[in-house]
Chain A
Amino acid sequence: MVWQLNLILLLFVLICAIASITVKDLLSSAIIFGVYSFFMCLLWAEMGSVDVAFTEASVGAGVSTIFFIVAILKTTRRSKD
């Protein structure tokens, strides 16, 4: 466990989380949320919890991003507020 790598990954996680809720385009928001999930997966894998990282990579970064994109395609792409 290298704390410098942990810190960098945590920084990326924070940047992705803030960007995902501030961006106006919902499709970009869904993609950035997938990136957030992937950095979360890297963080967990680096901390030694491989099983949780595997679940995050397959569910968070894979399938849930597809579900978000399909839901956005069914509704509107621009955020109202």
Chain B
Amino acid sequence: MISPFEDVIIQTVCRILIPFIQLYGLYVIAHGHSSPGGGFQGGVILGASFILLCLSYDLQEIKKRLSQRANVIFLSVGVIIYAGIGIVCLLLGGNYLDYSWLRQILPVDPVEARSIGIFGIEVGVGVTVMAVMISIFLDLASEEEQKGS
């Protein structure tokens, strides 16, 4: 559906712009617990950078950079990070996602442990949202090639 076309202005601008968009997405994720933003917004920005790559080149470009299998693995790893941190807190004696109990395995005080815990959660949410956005876009945009499988 998205036919490949050669436009040197669009491709050059997007190639220069995409690393900065991804850097901004990582900034939003990393500062999510102390400023506006967070895992969801940063993940959407990261996913939008891959969608921009797909729009400015073609569908094969994004499959070269990030294969469908790697995308599914990212999707699952984010959920595992989220649930894993919660279950680690559960195993250490606290409630689910009660980050202050992470102080037993980390050499920090409870306040610092809470900050590290919520950062891990943001990373998990961001990875999952990025993979889901790319997956929805690829499912919508790709043609009948996936209809048989």
Q: Is the CB of A55 within 8 A of B41?
A: yes
Residues of B within 8 A of A51 (CB): 36-38
How many residues in B have their beta carbons less than 8 Å from beta carbons of A? 18
Q: Is the CB of B37 within 8 A of A63?
A: no
How many A-B pairs with Cβ below 8 Å?
A: 39
* Interface assignment of B102: CB less than 8 Å from any CB of chain A: no
Give the contacting residue for B48; candidates A50, A62, A71; CB below 8 A.
A62
Can you list 20 pairs linking A and B with CB atoms under 8 Å apart? A51-B37, A51-B38, A53-B36, A54-B36, A54-B41, A55-B41, A58-B41, A58-B45, A62-B48, A63-B47, A63-B48, A63-B51, A63-B133, A66-B55, A66-B137, A67-B136, A67-B140, A70-B137, A70-B141, A74-B140
Partner-A contacts on B (CB < 8 A)? 1, 28, 36-38, 40-41, 44-45, 47-48, 51, 55, 133, 136-137, 140-141
